[in-house]
Homo-oligomer: A and B are copies of this chain.
Amino acid sequence: MRPSGRAPDALRTVSLETGVARHAEGSCRIRVGHTEVLCTASVEGRVPSFMRGKGEGWVTAEYGMLPRATHSRGDREAARGRQSGRTQEIQRLIARSLRAVVDRRAMGELAVVLDCDVLTADGGTRCAAITGAWVALHQAFEHCVLKNLISGNPIRDQVAAISCGLWKGEPVLDLDYAEDKDAQADANFVLTGKGGIVEVQGTAEGAPFSDAQLAAMLGLARTGTEALFAAQRRAIGR
């Protein structure tokens, strides 16, 4: 039995709420169990300088965690004066994941910044951020279509992410914090609505894992992202 009492393939309760940030072009509050991430998409009039004149858009991401999102208070990165390696790694992952499903030619030279701020952390924050950011990005592009900034929504597919792990040797879906800290392995899968793999990041925490265990975790992840894709579609009204 895993610590949460969930079945190995059971996802936590997921909710996606849009339009939660008054000023942003797109926004989504995602809750996966107790994990809660506020995702906003901000449309900016121009791409960064290294992208100018290419006729393409750009999507970037920033990630943060409120100091008391966690069990014990963490340092505020703004006060410490720099973002941790973990933060930078996560925000690079979020941006790559979203760019994988956007036709940047169809964006023109617009840029979108995705801000993913963790209000409460209980495991799986980077995966929740990706899943929620997709909804915020979709909403922001719809806004751009309405404003005639672009002629159609440049999103070509859905993208969502979920973590899997090995608990006492058995693959389990969607680790919460208590499970994550004792799991033998932790793997994050970023998958597309059409079934492709955008990103796999698997790490053995204790003993290395096998090819079969990797494949089993990938299988569970597909189950999980199917549910997430359905939730995303509901959130955008499809």
Contacts and interface: CB of A to CB of B under 8 A. Distances in A.
Q: How many copies of this chain does one complex carry?
A: 6
A195 B213 CA distance: 13
A210 B187 contact: no
Interface in A85-114: 85-89, 91-92, 96, 100, 113
A14 interface: no
Interface string A41-77: 0101000000000000000001010111111110011
B113 A73 contact: yes
Given A21-B68, A62-B67, A76-B64, A203 B96 contact: yes
Contacts of A86: 92
Contacts of A211: 197, 215, 218
Interface of A: 21-24, 27, 34, 38, 40, 42, 44, 62, 64, 66-73, 76-79, 81-89, 91-92, 96, 100, 113, 115, 117, 119-120, 122, 187, 191-192, 194-204, 207-211, 213-215, 218
